[in-house]
Amino acid sequence: MTKGKVVGVNGNMVTAEVDGDVSMNEVAYVASAGKKLKAEIIRIRGRRAELQIFEMSRGIGIGDEVEFTANLLAVRLGPGLLTQIYDGLQNPLPQLAAQCGFFLERGVYLSPLDEEKEWTFTPVAKAGQHVTAADTLGTVPEGIFRHRIMVPFFMTGFYEVVSVSAAGQYRINDTIAELKDDKGNHFQITMSFNWPVKRPITCYRERLRPSEPMVTKIRIIDTFLPVARGGTYCIPGPFGAGKTVLQQVTSRHAEIDIVIIAACGERAGEVVETLKEFPELTDPKTGKSLMERTIIICNTSSMPVAAREASVYTAITLAEYYRQMGLHVLLLADSTSRWAQALREMSGRLEEIPGEEAFPAYLESVIASFYERAGLVRLHDNSTGSITIGGTVSPAGGNFDEPVTQSTLKVVGAFHGLSRERSDARKYPAIHPLESWSKYTGLIDAQGTEYARDILFRGNEVNQMMKVVGEEGTSLDDYELFLKSEFIDYVYLQQNSFDPVDSAVSTERQKHVFGILFSILISRFDFDNKETARGFFNQLRQKFLDYNGSEWKGSEFNRLENEILAYLKTRQTGMEEKGQKILKTLSEVN
């Protein structure tokens, strides 16, 4: 084992002189005051290694011993990850969270998985069969999922199955299979193994282009700014604009199997809130606790920066593990700005040449390689699995023209920019409908959404103009356009995340309701003045909001829909032609 001695300390960075071979990202322990503090090599120069310490580094002094493990920073994979709350180094935190205390005693590293728990194993592979990394040897039920017990991902060659254990109860460290390679070496396989967090898991046949929408049940997203399963998106927004609430609503309702939350909080209190609230939330799909399909990796701004950096990698590695089981995983990182700040801090300590705003010059490539770990893949058994990544960015002052937002925008497939103006006006979710964009295909025919977007765009222009020339200086036609754009905003873009019905809108309902909305948008009216026009839309809006709050296809829903259509007829003189054609395609799809 390679050893070393501390020759320099600079905050969370320690320089050690080493007596043998070491490698980048290798884990080491610094022995200080009777404790062994975990660290990772982040630079090697000659016989000197620079280490980032994952703990508060106070007390470390020149001459302290360092032990190098020859292992890369890794996570433990196996059944029992779901429902867990971990810190960035995969230490389980639940007891601590309950007490709202956040610090494990320094130098204490707990087993990430319960080693005594028994799992009901069902063999899948048969003796004599040839297998390779990630092939399924058996399964155990984990919550509502069949957790695949796979050939460890580092066993990339081909192996013959010598035996697989009979169905029964096993613990994660019990042998469940024996394999042998072509040289006759035997390997005992258990239900868990380690994998280095900075190395993507790629035991799949091919990457596929994400094409199916990941339905969030949030109208503005699914209809106008869709996210694909296996795609990536970012939510930049100023402090308090609703990033965290939006991610929570998404994690609750999105049509995916597993949610992994990497919470790098702005404030400790915020993360505590997440930890308290989450276990109390019920999964609308199963009626059970949402935690049964969730893993939370949590850090606060008061934890050492290195642990914060690790948490992002821990989260994506766990996501990749479940993707290998043919599951659809959503990874939500909140906030990636805190992560970038950790990179900046370490880069500063390493005295690297700084890039823009003192972020490291490689910021962009680090962000890109994180988002690249998302994706839809075809596995060896022909099933598919996906990881969708949604990351929030919290730029100072809400100014998106800064390195973290800009680097993220270059790589993601959708941009949900939150606007201070909208959140101040309590227009939630505060996603800006005109500045945001998505490269993915959504639930609704693009001609339809383009048409509505055009009204939003032109209505906004009228609104801006009205601020200058006043309502009197605006033509009735323009005013009508403005009313229509406001209507879209109030009844469709805004959504009440606290209303039991309105908070989650199914695909079917979105398609249907968009059709009703569309027939209003393409209508011509016989208004004789702005007053009547405004009065009409106010009435219509109220009916539509009630409609949004009524149970899908219930009697109230049908009654309100008929009422809306009848009320529309009282003023409608016809329908715009281009719109009529689109309406036809929309209803054909329905």
User: Site residues (CB under 6 A) for ligand ADP?
Assistant: 237, 239-245, 428-429, 497
* Min CB(404)–ligand ADP separation in Å: 15
Hey, which bits of 253-293 come out as E strands? 258-264
Other CB atoms within 10 Å distance of the CB of residue 58: 10
Burial class (CB in 10 A: 0-12, 13-18, 19+), 89: buried
Distance from C-alpha of 23 to C-alpha of 17, rounded to nearest angstrom: 13
Q: Which is nearer to ligand ADP, 281 or 516 (CB)?
A: 281
Whether 482 contacts 466, CB under 8 Å: yes
**What ranges in 492-554 are assigned the alpha helix state H?**
507-521, 530-548
* Long-range contacts of the stretch 343-349 (C-beta < 8 A, 24+): 343/309, 345/11, 345/12, 345/305, 346/12, 346/13, 346/42, 346/52, 346/305, 346/306, 346/309, 349/10, 349/11, 349/12, 349/13
- Relative to beta strand 3-10, strand 119-123 is unpaired
Contact partner, 429, from Mg ion, ligand ADP, none, Cβ < 5-8 Å per class: ligand ADP
Q: Which residues on neighbouring strands pair with residue 26, listed in sequence order?
A: 72
Over the window 184 to 223, marking each residue x when it contacts Mg ion by CB under 5 A and - when it does not, the resulting string is ----------------------------------------
* Min CB(112)–ligand ADP separation in Å: 28
Q: Which is nearer to ligand ADP, 243 or 308 (CB)?
A: 243
Other CB atoms within 10 Å distance of the CB of residue 195: 19
Whether 534 contacts 483, CB under 8 Å: yes
Q: Which is nearer to Mg ion, 237 or 459 (CB)?
A: 237
* Min CB(418)–ligand ADP separation in Å: 7
Which residues are CB-neighbours of 588 under 8 A, at least 6 positions away? none
* Min CB(458)–ligand ADP separation in Å: 27
Contact partner, 242, from Mg ion, ligand ADP, none, Cβ < 5-8 Å per class: ligand ADP
| Total residues at interface with Mg ion (CB under 5 A) | 2
Over the window 561 to 580, marking each residue x when it contacts Mg ion by CB under 5 A and - when it does not, the resulting string is --------------------
* Min CB(497)–ligand ADP separation in Å: 4
Q: Which is nearer to ligand ADP, 161 or 340 (CB)?
A: 340
| DSSP single-letter state for residue 429 | S
Closest C-alpha among 299, 306, 318 to residue 345: 306
Distance from C-alpha of 142 to C-alpha of 139, rounded to nearest angstrom: 9
Report the site for Mg ion in 240-279 (rule: CB under 5 A).
243-244
| DSSP single-letter state for residue 230 | T
Contact partner, 245, from Mg ion, ligand ADP, none, Cβ < 5-8 Å per class: ligand ADP
Q: Which residues on neighbouring strands pair with residue 149, listed in sequence order?
A: 138
Q: Which is nearer to ligand ADP, 395 or 403 (CB)?
A: 395
Phi, psi angles (nearest 5°) of residue 574: 170, -170
* Min CB(244)–Mg ion separation in Å: 3
Q: CA of 462: how far to CAs of 86, 142, 407, 538, in Å?
A: 51, 55, 34, 18
Q: Which is nearer to ligand ADP, 187 or 239 (CB)?
A: 239
Q: Which is nearer to ligand ADP, 252 or 484 (CB)?
A: 252
Over the window 369 to 408, marking each residue x when it contacts Mg ion by CB under 5 A and - when it does not, the resulting string is ----------------------------------------
Residue nearest to Mg ion (CB): 244
Q: What tokens appear for 527 in the block?
A: 């208004």
Amino acid identity of 434?
A: L
Tell me the window of 83-91, 237-245, 375-383, 519-527 that interacts with Mg ion (CB under 5 A).
237-245
Q: Which is nearer to ligand ADP, 244 or 485 (CB)?
A: 244
Other CB atoms within 10 Å distance of the CB of residue 363: 22
* Min CB(262)–ligand ADP separation in Å: 14
Q: Which is nearer to Mg ion, 91 or 244 (CB)?
A: 244
Q: Which is nearer to Mg ion, 243 or 344 (CB)?
A: 243
Contact partner, 354, from Mg ion, ligand ADP, none, Cβ < 5-8 Å per class: none
The dihedral formed by the CA atoms of 522, 528, 531 and 535, expressed in degrees to the nearest 10: -50
Distance from C-alpha of 524 to C-alpha of 303, rounded to nearest angstrom: 59
Other CB atoms within 10 Å distance of the CB of residue 92: 18
Closest C-alpha among 587, 434, 440 to residue 518: 587
Contact partner, 376, from ligand ADP, Mg ion, none, Cβ < 5-8 Å per class: none
Residue nearest to ligand ADP (CB): 242
Distance from C-alpha of 520 to C-alpha of 498, rounded to nearest angstrom: 27
Contact partner, 368, from Mg ion, ligand ADP, none, Cβ < 5-8 Å per class: none
Contact partner, 497, from ligand ADP, Mg ion, none, Cβ < 5-8 Å per class: ligand ADP
Other CB atoms within 10 Å distance of the CB of residue 59: 14
* Min CB(335)–ligand ADP separation in Å: 7
* Min CB(405)–ligand ADP separation in Å: 14
Contact partner, 150, from Mg ion, ligand ADP, none, Cβ < 5-8 Å per class: none
Closest C-alpha among 272, 235, 217 to residue 423: 235
Half-sphere exposure of 451 (CA within 13 A, CB side): 23
* Min CB(221)–Mg ion separation in Å: 18
Contact partner, 241, from Mg ion, ligand ADP, none, Cβ < 5-8 Å per class: ligand ADP
* Min CB(294)–ligand ADP separation in Å: 18
Q: Which is nearer to Mg ion, 274 or 436 (CB)?
A: 274
Whether 283 contacts 82, CB under 8 Å: no
Q: Which is nearer to ligand ADP, 49 or 241 (CB)?
A: 241
* Min CB(495)–ligand ADP separation in Å: 7
* Min CB(435)–ligand ADP separation in Å: 16
Contact partner, 92, from ligand ADP, Mg ion, none, Cβ < 5-8 Å per class: none
Amino acid identity of 362?
A: Y
Q: Which is nearer to Mg ion, 79 or 237 (CB)?
A: 237
Which stretches of the chain bind Mg ion, using CB under 5 A? 243-244
